[in-house]
Amino acid sequence: MHHFTYRDGRLHAEDVDVTTLADAVGTPFYCYSTATLERHYNLFAKAVGAPKSRVFFAMKANSNLAVLQTLARLGAGADTVSEGEIRKAMAAGIPADAIVFSGVGKADQELAHAVDVGLHQVNIETEGELHALSRIAAAKGRRQDAVFRINPDIGAGGHAKITTGSDANKFGISLSEAERLYTVAANLPGIRMMGLAVHIGSQIRVLDELQAAFTRLRALTERLGGQGHRVERLDLGGGLGIPYEMEEAVDHGPDLIHAYAEMVTRTFAGLDVELAFEPGRLIVGNAGILVTRALTLNPRAAKTILVVDAAMNDLIRPAMYDAFHDIWPVVAPAQGAGTQLYDVVGPICESGDTFATGRTLPEAQPGDLVALMTAGAYGAVMSSTYNSRLLVPEVMVRGAEWAVVRPRPSFEDLIGLDRVPAWLAPRS
pLDDT, tens digit, 9 for 90 and up, residues 345-381:
999 999 999 999 999 999 999 999 999 999 999 999 9
Q: Can you say how many angstroms the Cα of residue 86 is from the centroid of all Cα atoms in its chain?
A: 15
Indicate the CATH number for domain 34-284: 3.20.20.10
**Which pLDDT score, from 0 to 100, does residue 166 have?**
46
Per residue in 131-142, pLDDT (tens digit) is 999 999 999 999
| pLDDT at position 170 | 55
Q: What are the φ/ψ torsions at residue 398 (nearest 5 degrees)?
A: -145, 105
| pLDDT at residue 247, rounded to an integer | 58
- pLDDT, averaged across the chain: 93
pLDDT of residue 265: 96
* Catalytic option among 269, 301, 334, 349: 349
pLDDT of 169? 56
Fold type of domain 4-31+286-416: Lyase, Ornithine Decarboxylase; Chain A, domain 1 (2.40.37)
Residue spans per domain, the chain: 4-31+286-416, 34-284
| Catalytic status, residue 31 | no
Each of the 428 residues of the chain gets a pLDDT tens digit; together they read 789 999 999 999 999 999 999 999 999 999 999 999 999 999 999 999 998 899 999 999 999 999 999 999 999 999 999 999 999 999 999 999 999 999 988 999 999 999 999 999 999 999 999 999 999 999 999 999 999 999 887 755 554 444 444 455 556 798 888 999 999 999 999 999 999 999 988 888 889 989 999 999 999 999 999 999 999 999 999 989 898 886 544 545 689 999 999 999 999 999 999 999 999 999 999 999 999 999 999 999 889 999 999 999 999 999 998 999 999 999 999 888 899 999 999 999 999 999 999 999 999 999 999 999 999 999 999 999 999 999 999 999 999 999 999 999 999 999 999 999 999 988 76
In this prediction, residue 162 carries a pLDDT of 41
